[in-house]
Amino acid sequence: MPWLLVDNSNTRTKFALGNHEGLADNHFWLPTNELTPQILATELDGLHFQGALLCSVVPKTAAILHSYLGPRGPVHSLTHESDTGLSIDYPNPEQIGADRLANAIGVAHHHATPAIVIDFGTAVTFDVVGIGPTYCGGVIAPGLGAMQDYLGQKTALLPKIELAEPRAAIGKSTVEAMQAGAVFGYRGLIREIIGRLREEMQGDPLVVATGGDAALIARGLPEIHRVDPGLTLEGIRLAAVRNLR
C-alpha cells in the first residue's frame, strides 16, 4: 500500500501517492487557504494509504493536516531531524524549510552534487547542496508572482497581468511593459544570484529549477541546466522511504 505525500506550501497544497518504487500519476492540489477537515474528507475520500509524509511550511495548515491524517495512520513531518540522507552545514538547522530539505534530497538522489536548486514558488529559494551530499544554505527572494501582484495591488492604473514570454524589451502597451519588467527583470535577479553562489561554492554545480514559474524563467537562462517539475514531491517520496518504514 502506498504512502500519502503532502507538499503544504503557502499557495497550494499538493497531494500524491507513492511507494518505494516511485510516484503514482494521480497528483492533485488544493488552495492552502481553503483547507479544512471537511474539504480534506471530501477530496481524500477513497484514497488508500498506510501513512503520510508531510512537508509543510504553513504551521496552521500543518496542524489541520495532522489532525485529519493522524487517525488514518502514522504521519511524519519532514524536518532537519528526519532521516534525510543529508549532512547539514547550517548553524540553526531548525530554520531550514521542509520544502528546501525535500528539494535537496531530490537533487542529490536524482541529479548530481554539487548543485543549486531554484524553487519558483510564492518565494523563490536557492538551495546549495554540496558533495556528500550536504545541505549548505542558500538564498530566499520574493517570488515572481508576488512581485507581479504587488504592482496590481499598490498602483492605481497598473493591471494584474498574466505572465508570458515578452515579445520585446520595449513594451508597446502597459501589459507588454509589465511583462518585460517581470520576466526580463526576474531573469536578471536569478542570473546574479546564481553567479554569486557559484563564486562561493566548491566545484561546478548543476543548476536545477522547479516550481510554477521554472519553465518560463529557465527558457531564457542558459545558467539553468535542468527543469524538474516533480523534484519536491520526489524528495518527499524519498523522505517517506527513509522515515515511514
Positions marked catalytic: 99
Question: Which residues, 6+ apart, have CB-to-CB distance to 66 below 8 Å?
Answer: 54, 75, 77
Question: Which residues, 6+ apart, have CB-to-CB distance to 71 below 8 Å?
Answer: none
The dihedral through the CA atoms of 54, 60, 63, 67 has a sign that is negative
What's the CA gap between 106 and 84, in Å, rounded? 10
Geometric angle at alpha carbon 217, from 216 and 218, rounded to 5°: 95
CB burial string 6-44: b at 16+ within 10 A, e below: bbbbbeebbbbbbbeeebeeeeeebebeebeeeebeeeb
DSSP state of 91: S
Contact 138, 128 (CB under 8 A): yes
What's the CA gap between 242 and 33, in Å, rounded? 30
DSSP state of 219: T
What DSSP line would sit under 8-72, residue for residue? E-SSEEEEEEE-SS-B-S--EEEEGGG--HHHHHHHSTT---S-EEEEES-HHHHHHHHHHHGGG
